[in-house]
Amino acid sequence: MPFPDLTQPELGVYISNVEMPEDFDAFWQTTIAQARELWGDVRIVPEPTTLKVIEVFDVTFPGFGGHPIKGWLILPKERKGRLPLVMQSIGYGGGRSLPHEQLHWAASGFAYFRMDTRGQGSVWSVGATADPEGSFSSSPGFLTRGVLNKNDYNYRRVFTDGVRAIDALVALDFIDPERIALCGDSQGGAISIAAGALDPRVKAIMPDVPFLCDFRRSVAVASRGPYLEIVRFLSQHRDKSQPLFETLRYFDCVNFARQSRANALFSVALMDEICPPSGVYGAYNAYAGPKSIVEYEFNNHEGGQSFQERRQMAWLSDLFAVTS
């Protein structure tokens, strides 16, 4: 029996007590700097489709450790001037899938990049990116892979890949480096928050029902989904609770939120059993940039879906001055 979550109005004023490690910035600066030293080629290959007004490219860029990371870059065929960029990260277990599935950003005049999460992409949509780094013995699943050492933890690589994707894309002459936005739901929302905090070039983030927020609380409240991988892990490794949560402080979106400056449009689902609303509010209430949040009162983890996408398209078109 998980513990019942907060409701409004408690949620609105909930302040997470996630501890900020003293060397949080140093850890991440070093991580990003080391990754940038392992530069490699960015490969951009046209992908054949039946689409006529939209173009697709299969992109491979060097992520953490220089490892090859894949994504689809989807553009309007006719374009004048540099395009604003929306980069989407994917929810837990999914991959970039096939390119024709998500055309609304490109059709609205954006360059849209749909990035694989390394090692994932076999549960609900296909990915094409291996994770060439190994792990301590783990509960099947990515959430505990390498979790006993902050340098080995899976999300050190994943979050770094997000920054490296931006490095790769801003180098393209049809991308406008002044108008970069990140989006994603669940794990993808967490990557948006983290990469948005780590990279000052990001001007807007749109995290939906984000994962990896306020670990201690979310682990106690979630009643299903991947937070429970931590419960399973610690139910066996009964003596590893302290080092595990010490690692997680470096990857908690509450801490990233405290250092963020980009414009943010969050969404949260008040019946979310997978990413509990108090975890999301723990990050949102700590968020240091300009922000707003949309509540879906009767939704579980699916959240706002295309209702929220419609709102994002309007919000970002306005923020980035994309007019018809």
Give catalytic residue positions.
Answer: 186, 272, 301
Alpha-carbon distances of 23 from 19, 91, 228, 247, rounded to whole Å: 12, 28, 28, 12
Looking at the Cβ atoms of 19 and 273, the one nearer to a copy of itself is: 273
Q: How are beta strands 83-89 and 175-185 bridged, if at all?
A: parallel
Site residues for a copy of itself, window 18-57 (CB under 8 A)?
49-54
**Of the ranges 32-40, 143-151, 170-178, 201-209, which one interacts with a copy of itself (CB under 8 A)?**
143-151
How long, in residues, is the chain?
324
Indicate whether 7 belongs to the interface with a copy of itself (CB under 8 A).
yes
Q: Examine residue 321 and tell whether it contacts a copy of itself (CB under 8 A).
A: no
- Shortest Cβ 142–a copy of itself spacing (Å): 7
- 242 Rama sector, left if φ>0, alpha if ψ -120 to 50, beta otherwise: alpha
Binding mask of the shown chain, residues 266 to 295, with x at each position contacting a copy of itself by CB under 8 A: -----x-x----------------------
Of 121 and 207, the one with the shorter C-beta distance to a copy of itself is: 121
- Which residue type is seen at 109? G
Asked whether position 104 contacts a copy of itself by CB under 8 A, the answer is yes
Find the radius of gyration of the CA atoms of the chain.
19
Residue 138 interacts with a copy of itself (CB under 8 A): yes or no: yes
CB 89 within 8 A of CB 184: yes
In the chain, how long is the greatest CA-to-CA distance?
59
Near a copy of itself by CB under 8 A, which window of 26-34, 207-215, 282-290, 314-322? 314-322
* CA–CA distance, 46 with 54 (Å, rounded to integer): 12
Please identify which residue in 71, 91, 119, 188 interacts with a copy of itself, judged by CB under 8 A. Answer: 119
Give, in order, the Cα–Cα distances in Å from 194 to each of 32, 50, 171, 233. Answer: 12, 35, 21, 24
Using CB under 8 A, pick the residue from 123, 151, 178, 290 that binds a copy of itself. Answer: 123
Should residue 156 be labelled a site residue for a copy of itself when binding is judged by CB under 8 A?
no
Member of 37, 134, 200, 321 binding a copy of itself (CB under 8 A)? 134
The answer to whether 132 contacts a copy of itself (rule: CB under 8 A) is: yes
Does the protein bind a copy of itself through residue 72 (CB under 8 A)? no
The residue among 230 and 286 lying less far from a copy of itself, judged by its C-beta, is 230
Range 35-64 burial, b when 16+ CB lie within 10 A, else e:
beeeeeebeeeebeeeeeebbbbbbbbbbb
